[in-house]
Structure 1
Amino acid sequence: MQILILKLLLTPALTGMATWAGRKYGHSVTGLLIGLPLNAGPIALFLALEQGTAFASVSSKGILLGAVSLSMFSFVYSMLSKKFHWLFCVVAGWITYLSATFFLVQFDWSLLQTFLVTVASLGILLLIFPKFTEGHLAIVPPAWDIPLRIIMATLFIIALTYVSSELGPRLSGLLGTFPIFGTIFAVTTHYLYGADACIRLMRSVVISLFSFSVFFAVLAFSLQPLQIGYSFLLATACCISSQIIVLYIGRMLKKQEYLKSIRFPGT
């Protein structure tokens, strides 16, 4: 009963506070928050509390690999968004996500191999990601956005942790990245602002998965030797640090592209 109450309190609190902070303090804070595992993180915590640290450690490695499935959802949705209705894009994205998940569950790699495969997959997808028209569009989500995210995330976490013993740690982990937030983000942005804004948003999601991957790699490594609380604190610190590095590199690359685009007299 105590864990159920924690599920009903923690997930809405994390989701609501993170969304509010991102909207109140601007894009820099939003960029940091996107990389935080606001949905999969609580799943790993509840699995550790209910099933034990050994189960949660294997699940965390599965969630880490699940970042590949989530990035595939973002890629396919973006590819289709310029030509098709949002509903078709969602269905195609979910099919791709589930297909990738049940393909990846066949492999039992070490933690290092899983991390390298995940990072390499994210890098390849970014290289071939659909192009979009740059703009300065300020995306203002609808009023029902936060309540919908809170309800969907809470119901999903309760359902997945309830059936986790039947699914096993690896499949529970892989399904822990199911694109609850990604679908809501994609559909609302696609419907309200068009394909270019949607592609830009989905690309930022894929970029954020590098920090997401760091979080679950550290968590999978540290859950058993450390206490649960210390392990999550360490993983969160590494995630935030890596997200800052990713954002800094992104800004430097944009600055270099801008400087290259300037034509000085005599050049």
Structure 2
Amino acid sequence: MTLFYLKLIVTPLLMWAISLASRRWGGLLGGLLSGLPVTSALVMTFLCLEQGTAFALGAVPGALGGLAAVQATYTFYLFATRRLGIATAVLLAILFYGLAAYAFTHWGSLYLSIGVALLLIGVLIRASGREPRPDTLARPRHRYWEIPLRMVSPTALLMLTTRLASWLGPATSGMLAPIPVIAWPLVVFAHMQHGRAGMAAMVRGNAIGAVGVIAFYLVMAGLLDAWGVAIAISLAMVCAVGLTVGLAGVLRRG
């Protein structure tokens, strides 16, 4: 019961904080924060506590396959919206994610998923950098239901994934862990409110954060058996945050 309340409280609070940060400091920071392995860390923590560490380790290849599918989906959306409307592009991107995630987790491999994810991260950083810069002086209209909707969606996915984990199995549970339920609403809302410039900034932040997500899974998988759940996931998060901040700084100077 304690784990249930932790899921119910922690996830929406994180979504609320990231949404406010995005409003206050812009899409790039919002993308960086939502691109960090927040949902992934929560899913993996609860999988360890409820299903055991062996189950969580078995979910890592699926999670990295899901991450590669996420980057493929952002790439699809970034280029599709040059010709299609937002609603059409969102529906096609969700369908594309399902197909890509299934392909990576059932027919791919751990190294293939990492390689494709890194390649697509490079494509996204380069392509988003060529988009116009967002107008920081513009004051978009914020609807009252936006943040509550963003808070509910990742909480619902976390509840569903961990609840059905024993039935779904480690591969599918891992595939669901990196679904961008925090980032995806932010990207779409940024597109509607700030146009392509705001959307591109959010996607760029997510792509940079995805490098940290890869580090998170690799460090967690390497330390989990030897160090235990709390230390392994904490160190993995520290590595993810450090790598993301470092890469963001290098790209900013460049």
**TM-score, normalised by the number of residues in structure 2:** 0.87
Determine if contact 1:66/1:176 at 8 Å carries over to the other structure: yes
Higher helix share: 2
Paired residue total? 252
Determine if contact 1:64/1:115 at 8 Å carries over to the other structure: yes
Match of 2:228 in 1: 227
Match of 1:15 in 2: 15
State the shift of 1:45 in Å.
0.9
State the shift of 1:202 in Å.
1.5
Q: Distance in 2 between matches of 1:44 and 1:87?
A: 32
State the shift of 1:228 in Å.
0.7
Q: Secondary structure at the match of 1:132?
A: coil
What is the RMSD computed on CA atoms of the aligned residues?
2.6
Q: Secondary structure at the match of 1:186?
A: helix
Structure 2 unaligned runs (5+)?
none
Instruction: Describe the shift of the 1:230–1:22 C-alpha distance in structure 2 as closer, same or farther (beyond 3 A).
Output: farther
Amino acid at match of 1:251: R
Give CA-to-partner distance per residue, 1:49-78, whole Å, 9 cap, x none. 111011112223322232111111111111
Instruction: Describe the shift of the 1:108–1:135 C-alpha distance in structure 2 as closer, same or farther (beyond 3 A).
Output: closer
Determine if contact 1:74/1:205 at 8 Å carries over to the other structure: no
Q: Distance in 2 between matches of 1:195 and 1:122?
A: 18
Please list, as runs of the form range in 1=range in 2, the aligned pairs for 1:31-46 lying within 5 A after superposition.
33-46=33-46
Give CA-to-partner distance per residue, 1:115-171, whole Å, 9 cap, x none. 444323423454456841234335755443321111111111111111222221112
Please list, as runs of the form range in 1=range in 2, the aligned pairs for 1:116-127 lying within 5 A after superposition.
116-127=115-126
Q: Which range is displaced more, 32-41 or 150-159?
A: 32-41
Please list, as runs of the form range in 1=range in 2, the aligned pairs for 1:39-188 lying within 5 A after superposition.
39-107=39-107, 109=109, 114-127=113-126, 131-137=130-136, 142-188=143-189
Which one has the largest radius of gyration? 1
**TM-score, normalised by the number of residues in structure 1:** 0.83
Instruction: Describe the shift of the 1:50–1:23 C-alpha distance in structure 2 as closer, same or farther (beyond 3 A).
Output: same
Q: Distance in 2 between matches of 1:169 and 1:23?
A: 36
Determine if contact 1:21/1:29 at 8 Å carries over to the other structure: yes
Q: Distance in 2 between matches of 1:219 and 1:210?
A: 14
Match of 1:263 in 2: none
Q: Distance in 2 between matches of 1:205 and 1:77?
A: 13
